[in-house]
Structure 1
């Protein structure tokens, strides 16, 4: 595999989050699974663009933080903020697709008031595992010459990018939509506006409610558009056979487990 040096970047610390609200658990090695994430980590899951969080030491030092404070899985010794989305990294024997910058959450305010705002653009990069592998402390981080499509940093941009790829004859529930976008449940409130303001070429008719019901209030011709694609309804709901599976939400096909 052709590779490009990445400022001799090295892995300094590793950690996992075993459960929601649990403290980060330091470890010497991570096991990564293609399309799923880190073994034993709460954020692992098919279809999520938030499987791995990589943070650089500078971000910790600049704000007087300790390893694990930013809930990072991989702490490295050089700047990762400039790594472009979609440019595949090799870390240890695993390949990771950087997706977008990790937005600071309100929980960081527990560490210090105002920290979340200060960390905008400096909380590291999120990524997906595109090849199985292990990562150990001391492993190098290398930029390969492989690329996959970039994902926008903003939620609306990721909504547009994802919905554009839902195939004809398939639908995505709002719960899976938020998963694929990598956003919090609070974004349920934004979905109606995203649907109503979508450009006409965006196939928003392929988005349905969490229970499979249609959004006819916002998309009056949704039933007609779905029926034209062969989608079947039962009691006003789209049946599960037409759900787009999470394993297809983001491109991984360029890399097999042993590429």
Structure 2
């Protein structure tokens, strides 16, 4: 089985979790239609407070469903959309993608990966102790943030569970993802 979308979610409010939908519409340069985080400039409240004119590099949030498996095995009860992601995937190493990787989803949509989601205190408010579970260390002792990746919409289109995902890597030397 190749990489696929397993769930899509959105929320018109700045709630932590997002409700599962039958499909979402991605809008080029904006994000998910009707989602509180859609827009050309930043929409996350902490970033708006610092500088509301910054470009929105966090239009779409993706989490690998394998993280939900890991968290559920550790005793946390977590489902698709509950960690604020718009798109839940399976069969793709989202965290291992380089900056600028493009995800072609379904028939038309394309997302460019801009960076990692930095887990925040809201994760512990959602499930006590879960912040520690979404942070880890690699073999060299470097911090690993597991709570998904962020991206911008290059080409719009409808995205639904079951849609295939094709990865296009950028040219040149690849830069590892940093928090955005």
The TM tier, using the shorter chain, reads 0.7 to 0.9
- The answer to whether structure 1 residue 42 and structure 2 residue 36 are counterparts is yes
Change (3 A) 1:73 1:62: same
Q: Partners of 2:178 and 2:152 in 1: how far apart? A: 15
SS in 2 for 1:129: strand
Farther-moved stretch of structure 1 (130-139 vs 17-26)? 17-26
Please, what TM-score do these two structures have when normalized by structure 1?
Answer: 0.53
Q: What residue is the counterpart of 1:256 in the other structure?
A: none
CA deviation after TM superposition for structure 1 residue 76, in Å? 0.9
Please, what TM-score do these two structures have when normalized by structure 2?
Answer: 0.75
SS in 2 for 1:105: coil
Change (3 A) 1:29 1:101: same
Instruction: Find the structure with the greater CA-based Rg.
Output: 1
SS in 1 for 2:69: helix
Preserved contact between residue 19 and residue 42 of structure 1 (Cα < 8 Å): yes
4+ aligned runs moved over 3 Å, structure 1: 145-152
Q: Partners of 2:15 and 2:89 in 1: how far apart? A: 24
Q: Partners of 1:19 and 1:130 in 2: how far apart? A: 24
Q: Partners of 1:60 and 1:143 in 2: how far apart? A: 22
Q: Partners of 1:123 and 1:23 in 2: how far apart? A: 13
Q: What residue is the counterpart of 2:80 in the other structure?
A: 67
Q: Partners of 2:23 and 2:31 in 1: how far apart? A: 14
CA deviation after TM superposition for structure 1 residue 144, in Å? 2.4
Q: What residue is the counterpart of 2:117 in the other structure?
A: 102
CA deviation after TM superposition for structure 1 residue 112, in Å? 2.6
TM alignment of 1:57-206, pairs within 5 A: 57-64=65-72, 65-78=78-91, 79-92=93-106, 93-120=108-135, 121-145=145-169, 153-154=178-179, 182=180
CA deviation after TM superposition for structure 1 residue 29, in Å? 1.1
Relative contact order: is structure 1 or structure 2 higher (C-alpha 8 Å, sep ≥ 6)?
2
Preserved contact between residue 87 and residue 147 of structure 1 (Cα < 8 Å): no
Preserved contact between residue 99 and residue 151 of structure 1 (Cα < 8 Å): no
SS in 2 for 1:81: helix
CA deviation after TM superposition for structure 1 residue 35, in Å? 0.8
Q: Partners of 2:133 and 2:18 in 1: how far apart? A: 22
Preserved contact between residue 86 and residue 147 of structure 1 (Cα < 8 Å): no
1:2-39 Cα shifts (integer Å, max 9, x gaps) = xxxxx711111110021112741211111111111110
Q: Which runs of 5+ in 1 are unaligned?
A: 1-6, 155-181, 183-259
Change (3 A) 1:57 1:23: closer
RMSD: 2.1
